[in-house]
Amino acid sequence: MKKIHTNIQDVIKFLFENELNEEFYTETDQTQKLHPLSTYIVQQLLASLGYPVQNVGDIKASGAEGIVLSISPTEVVKLFFSKDNLAKSVPLLGKQFDTIPNVREFGKITLNIPLKYLKSGSSYSEKPESVPAVKEIYYMIMERIVPDPKVWDAVENEFQKIVNLAKLSNINIMVKFYDTQDPGIRTNIEQILNLFKEETKIPETVEEILTALKSGSKKQRQLEQLFSNWKKNKNKMYLMPNVSPRDALKKYLLSALKVKNFGFDGSVISPIVEEYMAKNSKALDSYNEIKNLIQDVMINNNIDWSDIHREQFGRNKEGKLVALDVGSKSEELSSSVDNYITKNISMNIPEFGLTQQKNTDSSNQPQAALTESNISIKRWQILAGIIKG
């Protein structure tokens, strides 16, 4: 049973903890944003489709393309503000996958007034007045997946200690990377050592530094200490070329599996990465899960998955790791979307967004109680104390 919030302080705390960066608003509400509409839209959608309205759950996720809400223990609905964003899921419709959420249905919602999908606070935020208003939005019903960003975090935390210069746990890793003979990695490490030599004013050449670092001598210990102090603020420098803190792990994995080329061969450093990853069994298990998942999605099923990061992992009801937000946009897919839309729902949006609903015991009517599955009551009502604790 969902927790019902009755204390006003708990209500306010819950709303702000669950506030999204992205939401649907009317044009008159695009600045104040008092009436987020996604839960209302899904309630009306479910009533039209014959689903129990009280099953509308928490907003599970939001992003540049749309919003996901749970509608049953096994299903979610995703609202898209653009046909192009829905299009990349066309290849998934009606197919059964073990490692990708199964897509059940596409549909369109035709609105009586235009809405704007605002992305306030996000890295891709736009000014409300520049966001196009739309009178058609799209929905997709799909298998419910429980988000699991921690599986990525477990790998990321250890991976940074292996490849990020500032966090490098052992200088011997750099020497091992260099000895793989990969041209991109060797050139990159030579540039790092030239900068080290230049900034510390040491007389040794890059070749002499690398030789000394394998000598087991007093000179090696001196260089290691000097290098350890020098690298402390080099947070954006990596042993591989063409990577950043944001995408280093993704690019390494795609390169290691030979899915994409980023100027280095990830497969030649995989034994080194896995050797050090093995010191943390949880990190190694998560690493193997993620690597196998990418192989299954992109190689075995030949489905693009460019947007790989911590928010794109989840688990199905069997606990199996699943890839989220797979696919890629194309004009060909966008032009074919209408062929897969099975329902077109007409919907009226209240002029000022949601109003408070009356209590009812009907299974197909919105409920008044503020629960973790119904948070679309006006924020100004709550802050003004209209809802009594």
Q: Which strands sit side by side in the sheet containing 321-323, from one edge to the other?
A: 146-147, 313-315, 321-323
Nearest 5°: phi and psi at 28?
A: -75, -15
| d(C-alpha 96, C-alpha 146), whole Å | 18
Say what the pTM is.
0.80
Rounded Cα gap, residues 11 and 144, in angstroms: 26
Beta bridge partners of 107: 139, 343
Please compute, for residue 47, the number of CA atoms within 13 A of its CA located in the half-sphere on the CB side: 17
Q: Taking the alpha carbons of 250, 252, 256, 260 in that order, is the dihedral positive or negative?
A: positive
* In the block, residue with structure tokens 């030239």: 194
The pLDDT tens digits along the chain (389 residues) read 344 444 445 444 444 444 556 899 998 888 888 888 998 999 999 999 988 887 787 667 788 788 999 888 889 999 999 888 899 899 999 899 999 999 999 999 999 999 999 875 554 556 777 888 999 999 999 999 999 999 999 999 999 999 999 999 999 999 999 999 999 999 999 999 999 999 999 999 999 999 999 999 999 999 999 999 999 999 999 999 999 999 999 999 999 999 999 999 999 999 999 999 999 999 999 999 999 999 999 999 999 998 899 999 999 999 999 999 999 888 888 888 999 999 999 999 987 544 433 333 444 443 333 333 333 333 433 333 333 33
